[in-house]
Copies of this chain bind each other. A is one copy, B any other.
Amino acid sequence: MTLFDRLKSEAARDWADYTGHEFLRQLEAGTLPLAAFRSYLIQDYLFLIQFARANALAAYKGHTLDDLVAGQRGLTAIIEETELHVRLCAGWGLSRDDLNAAAEHPATIAYTRYVLDAGLRGDLLDIHVALSPCTIGYAEIGSRLKPVLEDNPDHPYAEWISEYASEPFQETAAQAAATIEELGERFLGDPAANPQRMASLTQTFSTATRMESAFWQMGLDLGAAVQEAESPAQA
């Protein structure tokens, strides 16, 4: 059993809440209101800037040149991922300046700063564990939703699903899991002989996973708020 699988298993309920969230069910069905998706996407752009900082932090935490190369790759991947968001948003008339001018939502702040702090307080393994629900979870979600596109190539969220189902993204996630495995050997040792450390990693993992769920919920809530604001007053 890999360390990542162990973490997922210990946080099974939080993981199920996150990867099976209502936001994703509506997204998969194509019924997610555009207002919710747009709100989510703007916040996710702001999220990625902080997440790029967290990948840079992982490079800073490195001990070997290989650790630094791994950190550099993660940083580069995130910077490129922001371009998907800029491109999708441009399609709805949202410019890069609009994105940069948006205020971070508390759910965005909670998730990103939690990851950054867990990484700074802990060691190189802690930061990679804190990063993993996003990277590996999105790959799992992309992979699961991919068949939807075969049935419905005009799916309203096809580009988003394609991105996370894509070979490069799946490869990035597989690499992230391999990194956690390698760092487990260096920093954790045998989990059974290091139970308090394992419990601490599990807590970091489950908290980051809960922050992911709260992030989806923020998308639904902001979408509902926009729709309410735009709907005509009822007599």
Q: Which residues of A are in contact with B by a Cβ distance under 8 Å?
A: 49, 52-54, 56-57, 59-65, 68-69, 71-72, 75-76, 79, 82, 100, 104, 106-107, 109-110, 113-114, 116-117, 120-124, 126, 185-190, 192-197, 200, 207, 210-211, 214
Instruction: Work out how many copies of this chain go into the complex.
Output: 4
On whether A186 and B193 interact (CB within 8 A), knowing A62-B53, A72-B72, A75-B75, the answer reads no
Shortest beta-carbon distance, A41 to chain B, in Å?
Answer: 15
| Inter-subunit contact A109/B120 (CB<8 Å) | no
CA distance A76 to B53 in the complex (A): 15
| Inter-subunit contact B100/A110 (CB<8 Å) | no
Shortest beta-carbon distance, A30 to chain B, in Å?
Answer: 29
CA distance A52 to B109 in the complex (A): 20
CA distance A69 to B68 in the complex (A): 16
A56 to chain B: closest residue by CB: B59
On whether A49 and B68 interact (CB within 8 A), knowing A110-B113, A186-B197, A197-B188, the answer reads yes
A116 to chain B: closest residue by CB: B117
